[in-house]
Structure 1
Amino acid sequence: MSDWREKRLRQVLPTVSRETVTGLIGFEDLFRKWSKAINLASPATLDELWERHIIDSAQLYPLFPNAQKWLDLGSGGGFPGVILAILLKENAGARIDLVESNGKKAAFLRTALAQFATSGMVHPARIDAVWAKIPTPDVITARALAPLKELFALTEPWLANGATALFQKGRDYRREIEESRDGWSFDLVQHPSVVDVESVVLQISNVRRNSAVK
C-alpha cells in the first residue's frame, strides 16, 4: 500500500517502479538498524531521514537518467551512492562505484548493495588511491564531502577525461563557486534542490586547471 514516503518520492521521480520504492524503504530500515551501532549520519537529521537524505539523494537520478557509469565519492552512510544504486536497477546495464575510506561505513555500504541486489562496488580507500583503478564515469557525485575547489582536485583525473560532476552544496555555494574560479575554469549549471531552498545541485563539466594552479 502506498504511504507518504512513496507519494513524496513520486513528486521527484513520477515513474519510479513499486519495486524500487520498496527497495528504498527497505534501505531506510537497514540504515536505522546500523545507525544504532555506528554513526552513519548526524543524529539530528534522523527524524527527517526520508526527506533530508533519501529524497535529497534521489533528486540526482533524473538529471542523468540514461547515464550508465556512476561514481560516488565519500559515500558515508550511502547518500547518495546507495540510493542511486537502487534507482539504477531501473536502468539496464548501469552501475555505480562507491568510494569510502572508513572501514565501518564501507562494511555497511557493502551490506546494503548486496541486500538490494544492486550493480555496485565499494572501494574502501582514499579517493586518490583509486584514480587509476576506476575508469572515467559518466557522472561523479559527492555530498557534503569538501569545498568545491578541493573537489576539483580530487576528481580532476576523471573530469579532465569528460566526466560530469553533480556536487550537492548548501547555502555557501556561491562563495565556493567564486573561490574556485581563481584556480579552475568550468561549465556550470545550477539545479535548485528539491528539499532545501538554500541548497543546489551543481552540474559541472569541462573542468580545466588554470595554468597558475599547481
Structure 2
Amino acid sequence: METEGVENRHEQILDADTLGRSEAVREYFGTRYEKVSAYARMLMEQGELRGLIGPREVPRLWERHILNSAAVVPYLTNARSVADVGSGAGLPGVIVAVMRPDAEVFLVEPMERRTAWLHEVVQELDLSNAVVKRGRAEDYDGAFEVDAVTSRAVGALSKLVRVSMPLVSVGGELVVLKGRNVREEFDAARKVLRKFGAGEPEVLPGETVEGVEATTVVRAVRRR
C-alpha cells in the first residue's frame, strides 16, 4: 500500500508539472524560471506531506498557486520592500522574492512548522533578499515598515487591512490576492481603510499566461 501511495504521488507530480514545463510558463518567468520551478518542485514533493497544501492541490499547483501568486508581482514594481502577511507555504511571498530579487521581502508567518519550511526554501533557492519573520503581522507593528504588504487567502478584507496596514509606509500600498466576490467585502473594509488614511480599494486583473484563469488583485494606497 505504501508503494502504491508513492507511485500515485509520483504520477500526480508528473501531471502537475506539465503546465510548469510549458513554453508559455517558461517565457512568462524568463530568467527567474529555474528558481520558480525548483520551488514548485519542492511544494509538489513535500507540500502535502508537511500539511502546506491539500492533496487535491498537487495536480493544479502551477495554475492555482504558482501562477496565481505571480499575478500580484506586476503591481509591486515600485516597491523596494514587501511583506507577505500569513506567508504559509510562501505564497505569494516566495514567488515575489524570486521574481523581484531587487526587493527585500519579509515572509511573516506565525506557525513554527511553516517558518521552518520557509527557512528551508530560502536556503535552498538562495534567496538572499528574503527574510523569514515568525509571528503575526500585529507583532511587528512599529518594528518595520514596507512599501507594500501582500497576502493570499488571509481572512476578510477588513481584518486584513486592520492587521496589515500598520506595516505599510505612507505612500505605500496594500496589494492582495482575493476571490472574485471581494467587492462584497468593501463596505466593511472602507471604515478601516479610512482609519489608516488609505484610499478607496481598487480591483485589478491578475493575469499571467494564456489559458490560465485570471485572479483578482485588490490594491489600496496609504496616503497619510
Q: TM-score, normalised by structure 1?
A: 0.83
Identity of aligned residues (%): 25
Q: After the TM superposition, which residues 181-196 of structure 1 pair with which residues of structure 2 at under 5 Å, given as runs?
A: 181-185=190-194, 186-194=199-207, 195-196=212-213
Give the match for residue 97 of structure 1: 106
Structure 1 residues 36-66: Cα deviation after superposition (integer angstroms, max 9, x where no partner)? 4311123222211011100011111122224
Question: Where in structure 1 are there 5+ consecutive unaligned residues?
Answer: 209-214
Q: CA deviation at 1:183?
A: 4.2
Q: CA deviation at 1:130?
A: 1.4
Letter in 2 for 1:76: G
What CA distance in whole angstroms lies between the structure 2 residues aligned with 1:154 and 1:162?
17
Residue 190 of structure 1 contacts residue 203 of structure 1 at CA under 8 Å; is this kept in 2?
Answer: yes
Matched, 1:34 2:46: yes
What is the RMSD of the two structures over their aligned residues, measured on CA atoms? 2.1
Question: Where in structure 2 are there 5+ consecutive unaligned residues?
Answer: 1-17
What CA distance in whole angstroms lies between the structure 2 residues aligned with 1:132 and 1:206?
16
Q: CA deviation at 1:29?
A: 1.0
Residue 148 of structure 2 contacts residue 168 of structure 2 at CA under 8 Å; is this kept in 1?
Answer: no
Residue 164 of structure 1 contacts residue 204 of structure 1 at CA under 8 Å; is this kept in 2?
Answer: yes
* Higher alpha-carbon deviation: 145-154 or 62-71: 62-71
What CA distance in whole angstroms lies between the structure 2 residues aligned with 1:165 and 1:10?
28
Aligned partner (choices 142, 146, 154) of residue 145 of structure 1: 154
Residue 139 of structure 1 contacts residue 163 of structure 1 at CA under 8 Å; is this kept in 2?
Answer: yes
Distance 1:180 1:4, change over 3 A: closer
Structure having the higher helix fraction is 2
Residue 72 of structure 2 contacts residue 176 of structure 2 at CA under 8 Å; is this kept in 1?
Answer: no
Distance 1:52 1:207, change over 3 A: farther
Give the match for residue 202 of structure 1: 218
* Higher alpha-carbon deviation: 40-49 or 115-124: 40-49
Give the match for residue 128 of structure 1: 138
Distance 1:154 1:77, change over 3 A: same
Q: CA deviation at 1:151?
A: 0.9
Give the match for residue 113 of structure 1: 122
Structure 1 residues 72-117: Cα deviation after superposition (integer angstroms, max 9, x where no partner)? 000011100111111122x3xx210010111111111111111111
* Higher alpha-carbon deviation: 144-153 or 186-195: 186-195
What CA distance in whole angstroms lies between the structure 1 residues aligned with 2:71 and 2:65?
10
Q: TM-score, normalised by structure 2?
A: 0.79
Distance 1:37 1:146, change over 3 A: same
Matched, 1:82 2:91: no
What CA distance in whole angstroms lies between the structure 2 residues aligned with 1:174 and 1:104?
33
Q: CA deviation at 1:201?
A: 0.2
Letter in 2 for 1:203: R
The number of equivalent residue pairs is 197
